[in-house]
Chains A and B, each alone.
Chain A
Amino acid sequence: MSPELVTIERSVIIEADPETVFGFLIDANLMAEWFGISHVLDAKPGGTFRVEVGSGNIAIGVFTELSPPRRVAFTWGWESVSPTLSMLKPGSSTVEIDLEPHPRGTLLRLVHRGLPEGLVKIHGERWNHYLDQLTAVAQERYQK
């Protein structure tokens, strides 16, 4: 009787090399340009992160895999004032991000697994937005 869990997949092409994009995934100062208000990141396997995404909503996870500049994987959950987000406890879902060289730069693929149905829309929408933002800032940095 366990509730049905959903996987979200997104892919974007970023006109920047994988090295540039990878930096934005693991460096707190770079992450601040596209995601979250405050950041504590310990980007190593087994290292944790706490990112305040919106006021009172803190995304928490553990890095499970880091292969610069191609792949990063981490667990994902929330400490939040929102009862909806709080349903997704830290450790209960996983995110994998793969970066592949592409003729135009990098193909980024994100897979978010283990989402309860009620949290799919909010996460899908947020990833749409944040990947759009990541694309913009990574391209800007790469062109400099």
Chain B
Amino acid sequence: MRALSDGTRRQILSLVWEKERPAGEIAANFSLTRPAVSQHLTVLLETSLISVRRQGTRRLYHANRDVIEALRTELDAFWGGRIGELKTAAERAQKQKRKKL
């Protein structure tokens, strides 16, 4: 979850969502040093949000869409649940207010 809390990492994910790209091409989209971008790639890789494969001498990064989708479903369930609770609590408060009137 912390891996997704950073704006640069979310931008990297969108860059490699549809298309595989090498690290140099990813870095070219940011005004950060190449090692700084690499650190973000490390976090994404270590949390399995992206993968990297070899193609000849190139190493290409891509988003693990199934992992991210699963995380999104989990988040939706979490916040969906909370929003539901909020709605119930608000409606209950509203009813009580009406009773008092």
Contact = CB atoms under 8 A, between A and B. Distances in A.
The contact size tier of chain B is 10 to 19
B59 A128 contact: yes
A33 B39 CA distance: 8
A6 interface: no
B45 A140 contact: no
Select the residue from A33, A129, A130, A136 with max chain B CB neighbours within 10 A. A129
Interface string A121-144: 000011011101100110010000
Interface string A33-52: 11000000000000000000
A133 B46 contact: no
A44 to B, nearest CB: 27
A103 to B, nearest CB: 15
Contacts of A137: 34-35, 38
B35 A33 contact: yes
B35 A133 contact: yes
A53 interface: yes
Interface string B1-45: 000000000000000000000010000000001110010011001
A133 B38 contact: yes
Given A34-B35, A57-B46, A136-B34, A125 B23 contact: no
Given A129-B42, A129-B45, A136 B35 contact: yes
B46 A54 contact: yes
B54 interface: yes
For the complex of A and B, list the 6 residue pairs with the smallest distance between their C-beta atoms, beginning with the closest.
A54-B46, A133-B38, A136-B34, A132-B59, A128-B59, A128-B52
Interface of A: 12-13, 33-34, 53-55, 57, 125-126, 128-130, 132-133, 136-137, 140
Interface of B: 23, 33-35, 38, 41-42, 45-47, 51-54, 57, 59
28 contacts: A12-B57, A13-B57, A34-B38, A53-B46, A57-B46, A125-B45, A125-B53, A126-B45, A128-B52, A128-B53, A128-B54, A129-B41, A129-B52, A129-B59, A130-B42, A132-B23, A132-B52, A132-B59, A133-B38, A133-B42, A136-B23, A136-B34, A136-B35, A136-B38, A137-B34, A137-B35, A137-B38, A140-B34
